[in-house]
Amino acid sequence: MLRFAQRYAAFVLAYWAASVGVYFLCFGSVANISTSFLESAAGLFNARVVLALTGISILILVAGRGRYDFRKLLPVLIIALAQIPFFSAFHMNKVCIPEIVAFWADPAFADLDRALHGGQDAFRLYHGMLGGIIPESLIVTVYFPVWVAVAYIYPAVIAAIEKDETRAIRHIRLHAVIWILLGNLMATVFSSAGPVFFELVTGRGDFDYVNAFLREDRAVFAGVIELQNKLWIEHSGGALGTGISAFPSLHVGAAMLPLLWLVDRFGWRGLIGAVFPLLIQYGSVVTGFHYAVDGYASAVIACLCLVVLRQMQAGRVSGAGEPARGR
């Protein structure tokens, strides 16, 4: 596992270096890279809490394994630390999306959403069915601090708790593929801002009612509204923040990762993990950050990527004349 962790860290550093180049080509400067991302991350995600949670979680998980070889902690720490430049690189690319491809796909995704949901916006269907059942405070908590913590520590946790090295490597690779493929590459091709920014990018007020809904309960959605304003200010000024992108939903894609590992590891019993991506999908629509189709696409793509990675691993093992593991 140590060798893989070293290769993973090298890949992340190469990804970061390439992202710096992309950012420079888009904005002509890299002067604010060293501070702007860290300041934005600390403000939006409470980075100290996330880092503390990462360390505590890894130590508990490792110590809880009983006769655990503590030399195996090194690859876990390498992978955990690699997440810092990984997320920095990811957001550098995300900020560049509208500079490379201007937001163009929002009307198409809004129309597709209505076609898939009986002629109405997904928000009206989702909230009409579940608004009285799922507390809005729960959605905000799961969608922001819980999701961020899970997204950050996921690869390191897999490295710490997965006994089958082949399976661990497969799911850590899946993490990288999902973030880069969905959050950078596809997000650039299908450049879109999401319902809460719909009027700002199209001039149409189709989703003004979503913003009105959020303002009605400022006690719950104050942080959401603040984040929306911050994202648009950063976008308008070309600041290195967290970026704006709707399709496909990286929130749902990343939330699928624990579910896919659970199913891969425990079979049908792992489906209990579906609660997390389902809550994220609901939250992404209710908060107005995403069209429903954003999440649907991400869930399907995440499953397909796992199938491809499994087949690639099986092909390598078969070619080496060894029995496949982690199937």
Instruction: Quote the pLDDT of residue 73.
Output: 82
Mean pLDDT of all residues in 22-27: 88
DSSP secondary structure string for all residues of 73-126: HHHHHHHHHHHHHHHHHHHHHHHHHHHHS-S--HHHHHHHHHHHTTTS-HHHHH
Q: Which of 7-16, 213-222, 243-252 has the lowest mean pLDDT?
A: 213-222
Give 4-17 pLDDT, tens digit per residue: 999 999 999 999 99
Mean pLDDT of all residues in 22-31: 82
Distance (Å, whole) CA 52 – CA 143: 19
Give 122-163 pLDDT, tens digit per residue: 999 999 999 889 999 999 999 988 998 888 889 999 998 898
Residue 53: pLDDT band (50, 70, 90) is low
Instruction: Quote the pLDDT of residue 42.
Output: 45
- Cα distances (angstroms) measured from residue 194 to each of 160, 187, 199, 310: 36, 12, 10, 33
243/190: higher pLDDT:
190
pLDDT at 322 over 50: yes
CA dihedral 208, 211, 216, 222 (to 10 degrees): -170
Instruction: Quote the pLDDT of residue 35.
Output: 47
Mean pLDDT of all residues in 53-79: 67
- Per the listing, tokens 């708790």 go with 161
Provide the mean pLDDT of the chain: 86
Instruction: Quote the pLDDT of residue 234.
Output: 81
Q: HEC string of 236-302?
A: HHCCCCCCCCCCCCHHHHHHHHHHHHHHHHHHHHHHHHHHHHHHHHHHHHHCCCCCHHHHHHHHHHH
234/135: higher pLDDT:
135
pLDDT at 31 over 70: no
Query: Among residues 5, 34, 164, which one has the least CA distance to residue 92?
Result: 34
Range from 25-34, 65-74, 84-93 that averages highest in pLDDT:
84-93
